[in-house]
């Protein structure tokens, strides 16, 4: 490793912050923050439990524990569990006396229950294939969970099936031959090999006992793709006799998005019955109304299109019959639903949806009336409501602060009841500027862009720009926090950071989202150039010091920049886990439906579509423009496979373009291990410092 990449981690930017008691954020601070997630409010609304992860950079690991807070704030939050591993996914028992959670404290991921009256947590499951994503039945007597098993054993009695699964897993781990055999597509996902295992639903008595596989057979009963998962993906029926779940397509799952809501009896022996068979697009996230008379779920309309608009549908529910005629509660609003909860009145639903660079909480109702904002500001996620409907808990983050737990009343106009943030002390020490939202005219509309100026910003000086392009492409830069691409850390290095939301970005209407498909290097590229034009006209920007970086689709755009005329505007590029060659991407990525939708067919059916905006077709221009490029690509990235990085780097080196290839063999599409993340930041900031020096001049 060359010298420039060292010594960059904790120094921050050596400029005055304007506040004597505050300093710029450094990369090391990212590992010092406590990472809050998955708040769950108690049935009576008086307590909230949530998970907090702590990173030990020196040991290169993190631990996750559960914390419990009194909503009235009469006492400070207390740590509920003291594991050195990972305790997560807390779920309250219906009577509010116990909390169910999953933990790796025994080695494998298993289910545990802790009693609020005191005592140690007790282990509920010992299944050889692990247990996760558990929920309670309405009467608190049963628990359903997910385990990935070999389907050929799933019809056998549990003990026999579990022993067969264990034997198979042990042989694979300890045997000298590491060969894998695949008989169908979707044998790997994100960063792990799925092989022929299937995610099945099991039910176990809440007091312990033998689990029962209620979805035996060769089909997944839980989403294999996180694209089709928002929170809990299954639920018990109100009478506790069935589990309603999100089923993976029963065929062609690598290129189909036909996720269905299905029902299966808890007693076992019944075949899952599809409740949404008429819709060939995706359905997921079943949620019963408090009175149990209606079922709500999310649905898309266009088969094969993962970025289609999500709506909330509601239908009358019969215990053993088909659903009633669905009613679309959000079809009249051009926003795409992320997650939602019912309120106690059985008529009102709250949901989150991206809008204009943020994710407010919205309110709708069964009458299909006005859809209104319930709460806005920042990025809101993980909604849960108390049983009486009086209180709502969720996390809220912003570009200037990580997620914290917020509890509020559910009546319109309610103020926050309490906020719980373990990072208050660290945040008080940091100078974290708030970004400015600007609008830039582009062909056919407006480009929204966040502009974040560095701590100690002096408008009389000229500052370099870090132009960051988000992934997706159907994603967005929101007013939210990230531990992977954190704009505040980039700004603290001495850059004006720009976060543009070009064509394809979510939160600006479905038409805006749709316009990226088949046109990756077209309108989106033009939008980004327009955003850059806006920036370089600002009196405080040094147009001769502009660098750009992005991952996934953002990495694709770095590659597209590098082979097009716009390359002349950049001093350096950073491309992380990118797409370089559309033609080779199709056959090596995990989710084929994505490429097939984006190119409207298969490579041999639409060869011109796969070739048209593929950067590799213009590879000769790398040598023409010679923009220094840092390539980061990881061996376990099955979304944008490692070959994309190899092909790009070979093209750069063959044409003697200043370039550097950083490979993490133990990472996937992201860089998650603490020490690897530290090194990632060293590499990226070292590259920028070398070719696009920071600081005002």
354/379 Cα distance (integer angstroms): 9
- Main-chain dihedrals φ then ψ at residue 345, nearest 5 degrees: -70, -10
pLDDT at 17 over 70: no
Tokens 């209606």 sit on residue:
294
pLDDT value of position 413: 62
> pLDDT tens digits for 448-485?
999 999 999 999 999 999 999 999 999 999 999 999 99
Nearest partner of 443 among 535, 324, 531, judged by Cα: 531
| Coil vs helix vs strand at 165 | helix
- Cβ atoms of 594 and 512 within 8 Å: the answer is no
- Cβ atoms of 468 and 552 within 8 Å: the answer is no
575/547 Cα distance (integer angstroms): 11
198/203 Cα distance (integer angstroms): 16
User: Looking at residue 366, what DSSP letter applies?
Assistant: T
- Cβ atoms of 302 and 477 within 8 Å: the answer is no
9/26 Cα distance (integer angstroms): 7
pLDDT value of position 372: 93
Q: What is the mean pLDDT of residues 365-371?
A: 84
pLDDT value of position 320: 83
487/493 Cα distance (integer angstroms): 10
> pLDDT tens digits for 519-536?
999 999 999 999 999 999
pLDDT value of position 18: 44
> pLDDT tens digits for 75-97?
999 999 998 999 999 999 999 99
Q: Measure Cα distances from 692 to 149, 156, 651 in Å.
A: 51, 63, 23
> pLDDT tens digits for 402-434?
999 999 999 866 667 889 999 999 999 999 999
- Cβ atoms of 71 and 81 within 8 Å: the answer is no
pLDDT at 10 over 50: no
182/188 Cα distance (integer angstroms): 10
What distance lies between CA 415 and its chain's CA centroid? 28
Q: What percent of the chain has pLDDT over 90?
A: 89
> pLDDT tens digits for 321-349?
899 999 999 999 999 999 999 999 999 99
240/12 Cα distance (integer angstroms): 55
Q: What is the mean pLDDT of residues 310-326?
A: 93
pLDDT value of position 626: 98
- CA within 13 Å, CB half, 389: 15
Q: What is the mean pLDDT of residues 658-672?
A: 97
- Main-chain dihedrals φ then ψ at residue 72, nearest 5 degrees: -75, -10
For residue 128, is it left (φ>0), alpha (ψ between -120 and 50) or beta?
Answer: alpha
Beta bridge partners, 659, equal: 629
Q: Which residues contact 522 (CB under 8 A, 6 or more apart)?
A: 613
Q: Which residues contact 363 (CB under 8 A, 6 or more apart)?
A: 348, 349, 350, 371, 372, 373, 374, 412
List own/partner pairs for 101-104 with CB under 8 A and 24 or more apart.
101/66, 101/134, 102/131, 102/132, 102/133, 102/134
433/673 Cα distance (integer angstroms): 28
Domain architecture of the chain: domains with CATH? 3-9+430-691 (3.40.50.1820)
> pLDDT tens digits for 126-172?
999 999 999 999 999 999 999 999 999 999 999 999 999 999 999 99
**Other beta carbons less than 10 A from residue 392's beta carbon:** 25
As a three-state string, the secondary structure of 223-271 is CCCHHHCCCCCEEECCCCCEEEEEECCCCCCCCCCCCEEEEEECCCCCC
Tokens of 396: 């809220």
What is the maximum span of the chain, computed from C-alpha positions, in angstroms?
75
Give the lowest-confidence range in 200-209, 265-274, 546-555, 653-662: 265-274
pLDDT at 228 over 50: yes
> pLDDT tens digits for 491-502?
999 999 999 999
> ω into residue 231 within 30 of 0, thus cis?
no
pLDDT band at residue 1 using 50, 70 and 90 as cut-offs: very low
pLDDT band at residue 183 using 50, 70 and 90 as cut-offs: confident
- Cβ atoms of 672 and 634 within 8 Å: the answer is no
């Amino acid at each position: 490793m060359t010298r420039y990449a060292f010594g960059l981690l904790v120094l921050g930017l050596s400029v005055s912050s304007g506040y004597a008691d505050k300093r710029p954020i450094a990369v090391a601070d990212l590992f010092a923050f406590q990472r809050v997630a998955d708040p769950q409010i108690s049935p009576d609304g008086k307590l909230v439990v949530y998970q907090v992860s702590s990173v030990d950079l020196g040991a290169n690991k993190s631990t996750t524990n559960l914390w419990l807070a009194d909503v009235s704030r009469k006492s400070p939050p207390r740590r509920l569990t003291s594991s050195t591993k990972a305790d997560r996914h807390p779920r309250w028992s219906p009577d509010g006396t116990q909390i169910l959670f999953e933990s790796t404290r025994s080695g494998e991921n298993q289910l545990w229950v802790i009693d609020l009256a005191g005592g140690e947590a007790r282990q509920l499951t010992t299944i050889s294939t692990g247990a996760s994503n558990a929920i309670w039945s309405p009467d608190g007597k049963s628990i359903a969970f997910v385990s990935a098993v070999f389907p050929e054993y799933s019809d056998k009695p549990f003990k026999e099936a579990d022993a067969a699964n264990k034997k198979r897993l042990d042989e694979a781990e300890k045997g000298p031959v590491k060969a894998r055999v695949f008989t169908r597509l979707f044998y790997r996902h994100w960063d792990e090999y799925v092989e022929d295992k299937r995610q099945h639903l099991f039910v176990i008595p809440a007091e312990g006992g033998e689990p029962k596989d209620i979805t035996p057979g060769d089909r997944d009963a839980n989403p294999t793709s996180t694209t089709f998962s928002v929170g809990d993906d299954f639920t018990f029926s109100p009478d506790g006799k069935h589990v309603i779940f999100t089923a993976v397509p029963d065929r062609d799952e690598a290129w189909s998005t036909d996720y269905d809501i299905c029902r299966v009896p808890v007693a076992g022996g019944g075949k899952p019955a599809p409740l949404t068979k008429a819709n060939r697009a995706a359905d997921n996230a079943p949620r019963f109304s408090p009175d149990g008379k209606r079922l709500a779920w999310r649905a898309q309309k266009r088969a094969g299109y993962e970025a289609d608009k999500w709506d909330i549908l509601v239908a009358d529910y019969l215990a053993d019959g088909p659903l009633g005629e669905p009613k679309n509660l959000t079809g009249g609003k051009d926003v795409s639903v992320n997650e939602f909860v019912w309120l106690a009145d059985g008529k009102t639903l709250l949901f989150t949806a991206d809008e204009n660079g943020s994710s407010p909480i919205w309110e709708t109702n069964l009458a299909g009336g006005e859809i209104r904002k319930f709460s806005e500001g920042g990025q809101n996620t993980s909604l849960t409501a108390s049983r009486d409907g009086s209180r709502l808990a969720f996390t809220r983050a912003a570009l200037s602060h990580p997620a914290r737990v917020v509890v509020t009343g559910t009546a319109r106009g309610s103020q926050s009841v309490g906020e719980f943030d373990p990072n208050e002390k660290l945040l008080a020490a940091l100078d974290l500027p708030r970004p400015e939202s600007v609008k830039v005219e582009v062909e056919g509309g407006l480009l929204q862009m966040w502009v974040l100026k560095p701590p100690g910003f002096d408008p009389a000086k000229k500052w370099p720009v870090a132009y960051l392009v988000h992934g997706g492409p159907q994603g967005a830069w929101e007013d939210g926090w990230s531990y992977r691409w954190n704009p505040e850390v980039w700004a603290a290095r001495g850059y004006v950071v720009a976060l543009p939301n070009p064509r394809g970005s979510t939160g600006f209407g479905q038409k805006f989202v749709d316009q990226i498909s088949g046109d990756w290097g077209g309108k989106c590229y033009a939008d980004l150039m327009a955003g850059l034009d806006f920036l370089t006209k600002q009196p405080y920007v040094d147009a001769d010091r502009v660098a750009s970086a992005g991952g996934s689709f953002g990495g694709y755009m770095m590659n597209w920049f590098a082979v097009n005329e716009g390359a002349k505007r950049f001093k350096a590029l950073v491309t992380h886990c990118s797409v370089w060659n559309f033609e080779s991407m199709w056959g090596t990525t995990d989710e084929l439906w994505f490429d097939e939708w984006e190119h409207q067919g298969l490579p041999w059916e639409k060869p011109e579509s796969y070739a048209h905006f593929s950067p590799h077709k213009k590879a000769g221009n790398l040598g023409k423009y010679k923009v220094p490029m840092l390539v980061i690509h990881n061996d376990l990235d099955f979304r944008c496979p490692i070959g994309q990085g190899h092909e790009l780097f070979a093209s750069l080196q063959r044409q003697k373009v200043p370039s550097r290839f950083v490979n993490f063999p133990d990472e996937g599409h992201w860089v998650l291990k603490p020490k690897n993340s530290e090194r990632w930041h060293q590499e990226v900031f070292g590259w920028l410092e070398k070719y696009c020096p920071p600081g005002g001049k």
